[in-house]
Amino acid sequence: MTDQPSAPPLVAAQRIARRDAARQQTLLQPTDFALAASERVALTGPSGSGKSVLLRALALLDPLDGGRIEWRGRPVTRARIPTFRRHVAYLRQRPALLDGTVEDNLRYPYSLAVYRDVSFDAGRARALLAGAGRGEAFLARDASELSGGEAQIVALVRVLQLDPDVLLLDEPTASLDPESARAIEALVAAWFERDRAAHATVWVSHDPAQALRVGTRQWTMHAGVLANASPSGPPAATAPREAAR
């Protein structure tokens, strides 16, 4: 599946689980998952089935209630989480931008301790924005005045300039106009192709046509259960009904 069959997956999850303690509800059933370099996974499933819960768990953004995550075959201990988050970037559906200009937003990550060793590269940022059809003047735009599509482009460029290895994309084009959606797909594709032997994506989509475009492996979620949706995998139709919200 990868260029180096002996290499461990980039991200591996062993029996990871998430619970809502307050409501005594299982959000994610114990789940195994492995993402090798050069893989592109598309994840679909009904609203509320746990797609975001899974992605946020894979990114170690929410505390696990069981299981563990490995990065390149090594468990991600608490001390290694900041480094892990540099490798594995999560992009949410509705980006959170700071007050200020687009450039302020692109510069922001470099003010964080974990990125102290790198600095903002305006040329790189401009090249990435050009890949989304946005010119130089876009850097000076006020973030609060951007459309949803433009805000998502800024959020994606903010992540891509930091050179992650794995992108976890959580419905990044839902509710975007078709042109912005194509820009997002193009940016991700260009990043992926730049070093496909080292990059991998998981892309949550509610659009089956997009899932086929962006994924070489198709997975689906039902009621906190992850199932392989490709013909060779276990049939997704046997998954339990959705948990009530």
Ligand X SMILES: Nc1ncnc2c1ncn2[C@@H]1O[C@H](COP(=O)(O)OP(=O)(O)O)[C@@H](O)[C@H]1O
Q: Could you tell me the smallest distance in angstroms from the CB atom of residue 126 to ligand X?
A: 33
27 binds ligand X (CB under 6 A): yes
Unique residue bearing structure tokens 């050009």: 130
Choose, by CB under 6 A, the member of 9, 45, 95, 164 that binds ligand X: 45
30 binds ligand X (CB under 6 A): no
DSSP per-residue string spanning 81-121:
HHHHHHHEEEE-SS----SSBHHHHHHGGGGSGGGTT----
- List of residues 6+ apart from 245 with CB closer than 8 A: 48
Q: Round to whole Å and give the CA distance between 197 and 15.
A: 27
Q: Could you tell me the smallest distance in angstroms from the CB atom of residue 57 to Mg ion?
A: 12
Residue 213: phi and psi, rounded to 5, are -70, -40
- Which stretches of the chain are DSSP H helices? 51-58, 81-87, 102-107, 122-131, 148-160, 178-194, 208-214
Which lies closer to ligand X via its Cβ, residue 52 or residue 201? 52
Choose, by CB under 6 A, the member of 40, 51, 107, 222 that binds ligand X: 51
Q: Which stretch binds ligand X (CB under 6 A): 42-50, 77-85, 127-135, 158-166?
A: 42-50
- List of residues 6+ apart from 218 with CB closer than 8 A: 41, 42, 44, 211, 212, 228, 229, 230
Residue 116 binds what, of Mg ion, ligand X, none (CB under 5 to 8 Å, by partner type)? none
Residue with the CB atom nearest Mg ion in the bound state: 52
Q: Round to whole Å and give the CA distance between 34 and 226.
A: 12
Q: Could you tell me the smallest distance in angstroms from the CB atom of residue 34 to ligand X?
A: 20
Q: Could you tell me the smallest distance in angstroms from the CB atom of residue 93 to Mg ion?
A: 7
Q: Give residues in contact with Mg ion (CB under 5 A).
A: 51-52
20 binds ligand X (CB under 6 A): yes
Choose, by CB under 6 A, the member of 12, 37, 50, 205 that binds ligand X: 50
Residue 27 binds what, of ligand X, Mg ion, none (CB under 5 to 8 Å, by partner type)? ligand X
Residue numbers at the binding site for ligand X (CB under 6 A):
20, 27, 45, 47-53, 245
